Amino acid sequence: MKFNHSILGDIASVGDGAHSKVKRVEDGVLYLTSKNIKKGFLDLEKVDYISNEDYTKLFSKSTNSVRHLEKNDILVGIIGTFGNIYQYSDGDYFGISSSIGIIRANKEIINPNFLYYYLSSRYVERYIENIKGGSVQGYTNLSALRSIPIKYPENIAYQSKIVHIMSSLDSKIELNNQMIDTLEEMASTLFKRWFVDFEFPDENGNPYKSSGGKMIDSELGEIPEGWKVDIFGAKMSFISKGTTPTKKDLSLHNTEEMVSFLKVKDMPMKGLIKYNILEKIPKIVHETKLKRSILKKGDVLLSIAGTIGRVNIVTENISLNTNQAVSFIRFFQNKNVYYYMVLLKSDIYQQKLKEKIVHAVQPNLSLSEIKSLKIISPPEVLIDSFLKIISPIYFQIIKLDKEANELEEIRDTLLPKLLSGEIEV
């Protein structure tokens, strides 16, 4: 198979988003910056909006520019976190700032989806790392973007074969992730119905509150008879937070055996921790300087600095550590970890945590505030009934997540071999 060598600017149009200052509004059209572009997805946790009028003026088709986004356009962060890419799809509708580069493939030369996979590859990641080394604050200009070297099969039909293999793997990964989202939503919905709306099954199998179940007053409002209000810390056998290693510690031992190191960014609110992409630290540092923050399987994790309120759980029995922005909790009733994880993820307790945040230079949540959180405690027998339903759900989530991770590893191993021609299809 013949491969051509070129640069990005010769096989694609390259531009960027709006340069003019755009007024933000309360409600309107999404307006994204480089911080919203992640590897293969959009982070919409913190977004801006612009008016429909400004969107039409800057991004409509009448502007006759690459800034009017089309299906399969490739978006890349060029300021701040440079190198994250996302492919614009049919369902997308948003404007972008000049911190995002736009790449539109020349379809007569290269399949847009092939180009997306190529720009996601390790080759380009390494090239981008070299660009970053000479940039200021993670900025790169469009000339540097246009200069990215591209190697591609001359035959577009062959490019499409590679895309088919990659997209089949991606579709299966996405299906697993959608199933995980659905299962987590089921657990969340059941928690709300039983422990917020108090519609758990009574002795006759009917919804408790709406069937006339007796309610009593408490400091947290009405609760079912036989329930009580507890301090969250009374349920914990241990709570602590991680430790951030010094650069000196890391540099002194950078050739040692390595272990995984978890940060807040590795804790999705939906889905589980992706252990295969965690950063690494020397094992000797993990076992000495960071000894107090060694994580164990079953630890419930809660982010307490910067982005506060992310909740997850350690599902693997591996050597794992974390930094000071993450707290980890162990409970006297270890069997209840999934109950407490769903509790912390629920809207009502997320709001309670937000009320305890200290807004300093960096927002933070202290361990003492977490321990002092007041929670509604149902009878243990009801928690057991809840766990009989949701534990199998989380076992299935873990299985689906593991399968998705394995598929990602296969994809990431296969991609460079297909792109280089080492493996032909």
pLDDT at 63: 63
Q: Give the pair of three-digit tokens for residue 208.
A: 């408790």
- Say which range, 293-307, 354-368, 375-389, has the weakest mean pLDDT: 354-368
Q: Please report the domains of the chain, with CATH numbers, ordered by start residue.
A: 3-154 (3.90.220.20), 155-205+379-425 (1.10.287), 228-377 (3.90.220.20)
Could you tell me the pLDDT band of residue 252, with boundaries at 50, 70 and 90? confident
Of 51-60, 218-227, 253-262, the least confident: 253-262
Q: Give me the pLDDT at residue 231, please.
A: 98
Q: What is the mean pLDDT of the chain?
A: 92
Tally of CB atoms within 10 A around 153: 22
Which pLDDT value is given to residue 123? Answer: 85
Q: Which residues make Cβ contacts (< 8 Å) with residue 375, sequence separation at least 6?
A: 229, 230, 231, 232, 235, 343, 349
The model's pLDDT over 122-176, given as tens digits with 9 standing for 90+, comes to 888 888 877 665 554 556 788 989 999 999 999 999 999 999 999 999 999 999 9
Residues 421/127, Cβ–Cβ less than 8 Å: no
pLDDT at residue 98, rounded to an integer: 93
Q: Is the pLDDT of residue 421 over 80?
A: yes
Q: Give the pLDDT mean for 322-334.
A: 96
Q: In the predicted model, is pLDDT for residue 31 greater than 80?
A: yes
- The 10s digit of each residue's pLDDT in 356-373 is 998 877 889 999 999 999
Residue 80: its pLDDT value, please? Answer: 74
Identify residue 122 by its one-letter amino acid code.
R
